[in-house]
A = this chain, B = another copy of it.
Amino acid sequence: MCADSPAASGSDPARDSRREVDWVFRRVSWLVTCDDTMRCIPDGALAVDGGTLAAVGTTEEILQRFRGRRDTDLSGYLVLPGLVNAHVHGAMSCFRGLGDDLPLMQWLTEVIFPAEAAHANPDMVYWGTLLSIVEMLKNGVTTFCDGYFHEEDAARAARDSGIRAVLGQGIVDFPAPGIPDPGRARERAEAFLEAFPAGVPTLRPSLFCHAPYTCSAETMRWVKDLCRERGILFQIHLSETAGEVEELTARHGMSPAFLLDRLGILDPGTLCAHANWLDTSEIALLARRGAGVAHNPESNMKLAAGVAPVPEMLAAGVNVGLGTDGCASNNDLDLFGEMDRAAKLHKAFRRDPVVCPARRVLWMATRGGAKAVGWADGIGSLEAGKKADFAAIDLKQPHLTPLYDPVSHLVYAVKGSDVRHVWIEGRQTVCDGKVQGLEEEAVMKEVRRIAASIRR
């Protein structure tokens, strides 16, 4: 499959009235579409042309209408839309496992901030992001929404890998990697947008305003204005910890979500990461404004930051995607793990085994994320006209046997390591578990080199 697959034989092209497309994938044991009805098709098939899904259906339906220049049999596999990691700081894979199990402020001020001050340079951002991309691709993530500094180097890594990405240059009101003078942050943001690789259909720029407790109202306002002007995603950390909510509420006389709303920031082009400490009125506000949320269960659990009111947000109609957050507080980038955690955490926390059912959670990791990062028209489901971004999972494994319900398996039993093949824009980016066109060992070697200097 990794080499060119021959077209299916047995038909004479000259007399074949079927539409010829780039690639037909047929006999998929379970095709999980994540369409509006969460349709799961046994013996499914996809017709892919020019990086786009020409059609989705049963093998019989697709083979009646399409002939592939390449033709691949995916029996024994489950195919699902590529997952969307709605919140990550890719470069932070360089800090994986650095200072676990510490109080949050000690971890930040004694471990992470000093490490970033000393090591977050273009070299670290490129290689750290590339390592994260390799890990995500192997785990079936086809789109990630990033926020960090030196973000042009993150974009370079994304471009080199073929992954789809929304890349947010970080903005904060204190000296930061690549922005020693916060007074020049706007200049820096504009330079990032100017230099952003044009004409790469898989990459979109964004700005990432760190948080309401690290950015002034003025900063948040100009960043949002710039995003609106350029039509790009505005990202912000919102109400991750109880402490910051208390501090902000005391300072501004209103809760953080209402503060953002007063600044005109809450709209469908804004993505709020975490949203752990929203009250009912803030949840209603986010739903009304159409702002998205990236829920990061593992990071929130590990840092004891709080448990997001996900069942309430979903019930209120807030659009919620799933994210891993940075590697340092996770410590991996496996969105299948996040799905399992999201499904179970809220059940445990609410003492209710019915909340966050598997279908809702899979929706968050696909459709919810696609909408949250502003790409709902192109990705998140397998439907005609959408991008050909999908992953194939090997079902012939003991821990996936027996199979009563493919969606249950995706949330409660599949691991990222079960992903065997991945396609993005119709191009195969993972084959037999190996990222195509990148030397994984070389990427790991560079990150080990960077880690050696961090260790010192």
A residues with CB within 8 A of B:
93-94, 96-98, 100-104, 107, 131, 134-135, 138-139, 242, 298, 300-304, 306-307, 330-334, 337, 340-341, 343-345, 347-354, 357-358, 396-399, 401-405, 408-409, 412-413, 415-418, 440-441, 443-444, 447-448, 450-451, 454-455
Contact = CB atoms under 8 A, between A and B. Distances in A.
Contacts of A102: 353-354
Nearest to A300: B348
B100 A348 contact: no
Nearest to A435: B398
Given A399-B334, A401-B444, A303 B415 contact: no
Nearest to A303: B353
Contacts of A398: 131, 134-135, 138, 440, 443-444
Contacts of A412: 97, 100, 302, 330-332
Q: Give the most central of A302, A303, A401: most B CB within 10 Å.
A: A401
Most chain B beta carbons < 10 A, residue from A135, A139, A333: A135
Contacts of A401: 93, 96, 131, 444, 447-448, 451
Nearest to A348: B301
A101 B353 contact: yes
B331 A402 contact: no
Nearest to A409: B97
Contacts of A353: 101-104, 107, 302-304
A331 B343 CA distance: 12
A302 B344 contact: yes
A397 B334 CA distance: 14
A348 B345 CA distance: 9
Given A96-B401, A97-B403, A357-B101, A304 B350 contact: yes
26 contacts: A94-B402, A96-B402, A97-B408, A100-B405, A100-B412, A101-B353, A107-B353, A134-B398, A139-B399, A298-B340, A301-B345, A302-B344, A304-B347, A304-B353, A331-B413, A334-B415, A337-B337, A349-B349, A396-B444, A401-B444, A401-B448, A401-B451, A404-B451, A404-B455, A415-B416, A417-B417
B304 A447 contact: no
A279 to B, nearest CB: 17
Given A131-B401, A415-B417, A100 B304 contact: no
A323 to B, nearest CB: 15
A169 to B, nearest CB: 25
A347 B352 CA distance: 20
Q: Which of A332, A358, A402 has the most CB of B within 10 A?
A: A402
Q: Of A93, A100, A443, A455, which is in contact with the most chain B CB atoms at under 10 Å from its CB?
A: A100
A332 B413 contact: yes
Nearest to A336: B415
A454 to B, nearest CB: 8
Chain A to chain B: the 6 pairs with minimum beta-carbon distance, closest first: A402-B451, A301-B344, A101-B357, A417-B417, A331-B412, A301-B348
